[in-house]
Amino acid sequence: MNSPANDVLQKYRWRFSGMVAWVIQRVTGLLLLFYLFLHVHTISKLAEGPQAFNEAMATFHSPFFKLLEIGLLGTVILHAMNGIRITLIDLGVGVERQRHLFWFVTVGVGILIFLAGAIPMFLFAVLKV
């Protein structure tokens, strides 16, 4: 038999899918907010001239940042898919089957879209095949 903590975690995922979705939406939202600040900071280098901007951009061409970009893609997809899910629910679509909507549509379709983008990014931008 499982420990109580494991037991609760296993059941929590399905039973409280809406809460899991809400937490994911908040966490990905905060990550995107952090990215937005980073993005604006980099773009603001344009004010200092082309050389300063190119130097800033050079930092992001390293494989480490390409991996972070793949992470950003996943974050955007999760946030966007979950946003679509919430919109559908607010419109009254899938309210009775919101758990399936989250795990199979938001997460499932989200993973497929992520793989479609992440595999080429990894091959051509990180491994540079």
Give the interface with other proteins as residue ranges (CB under 8 A). Answer: 1-4, 7-8, 11-12, 15-19, 21-22, 86, 89-92, 95-96, 98
Q: Considering beta carbons, is residue 50 or 92 the nearer one to other proteins?
A: 92
Q: Considering beta carbons, is residue 37 or 96 the nearer one to other proteins?
A: 96
Q: Considering beta carbons, is residue 16 or 35 the nearer one to other proteins?
A: 16
Residue 120 identity: P
Cα-based distances in Å from 97 to 74, 82, 86: 24, 14, 13
What is the closest distance, in whole angstroms, from the C-beta atom of residue 110 to other proteins in the complex?
A: 18
What is the closest distance, in whole angstroms, from the C-beta atom of residue 77 to other proteins in the complex?
A: 20
Three-state secondary structure string covering 57-108: HHHCCCHHHHHHHHHHHHHHHHHHHHHHHHHHHHCCCCCCCHHHHHHHHHHH
